[in-house]
Amino acid sequence: MHKARKRFGQNFLTDNRVIERIVAVIAPKFNDNLLEIGPGQGAMTLPLLEQVKTLNVIEIDRDLIALLTDFNKDNLVIHEGDALKFDLSILPNPIRVVGNLPYNISSPILFHLLENRDKIVDMTFMLQKEVVERIVADKGSKIYGRLSVMIQAFFEAELIFIVPPESFNPAPKVESAIIYLKPLPKTEVKNMAIFEKIVKASFAQRRKTLRNCLKLHLSQEQTAIDLSQRAEMLAVQDFITLANDYEKQH
């Protein structure tokens, strides 16, 4: 029996009804290029293997790799390593990505995939509910912030359903949720590094106005966006405008 390891942020999904619902959301087709991040003990891996020609999985924990290898499934391709360093271009494209993302590295994984979104059809993940709520938050909300803007500038994001702690072993202290992410047909972000810099600076001190937060980057004369507001009042499109206005000055 594999014991969940704290250092990999492991909580294993054991509730069959939840697993069926997730697989139904993914709705895999036989020829889909599916990549599962962190397959764990294979709760989602096994039902997915029944529906696709090939399933690629990436796992860092060697004990779990041994467990997955013991399934003896011809259509399972196991990649040992860190999802944050995984090169998606070695897989047949475009890819559909699924997984129960470890809580401790969910944001870095999302950013890694964001940078590779040209290779991705869609992504269905289980994340901490609080993280999903932050991603899908609308402007004006207390939880709308850097993560919301960064993801929504490039993806359609939807919270599909909530998963209670008792669906896992060990039960985490928090609720989880399933999120569906689909890359937007096009984004108006011209320069990723500049966009990231402006969004980060805007939310660095939430209680301050944008004029204060962005004083090193933009003055009111340089943009049509009203800088007397706080960052949380701006739509995603407004941040794209700010980044593009900043770029014009440099």
Going by the annotation, the residues of the binding site for S-adenosyl-L-methionine are 11, 13, 38, 59, 82, 100
* Beta-bridge partner residues of 78: 57
- Binding-site positions read 11, 13, 38, 59, 82, 100
Residue 192 to residue 235: CA distance in whole angstroms = 17
Q: How many helices (H) and strands (E) in the chain?
A: 9, 9
Task: Give residues with Cβ within 8 angstroms of 188, minimum separation 6.
Answer: 237, 240, 244
**Length of the chain in terms of residues written:** 250
Nearest to 179 by CA among 151, 162, 165, 158: 158
Kindly report the CA angle at 164 between 163 and 167, in degrees rounded to 5? 90
Peptide bond into 183 cis (omega under 30): no
Sequence-ordered alpha helix ranges (H) in 137-235: 146-152, 192-203, 210-213
Tell me the pairing of strands 76-80 and 155-163.
unpaired
Contact assessment for residue 64 and residue 2, using Cβ atoms and an 8 Å cutoff = yes
Contact assessment for residue 208 and residue 248, using Cβ atoms and an 8 Å cutoff = no
* Beta-bridge partner residues of 59: 80
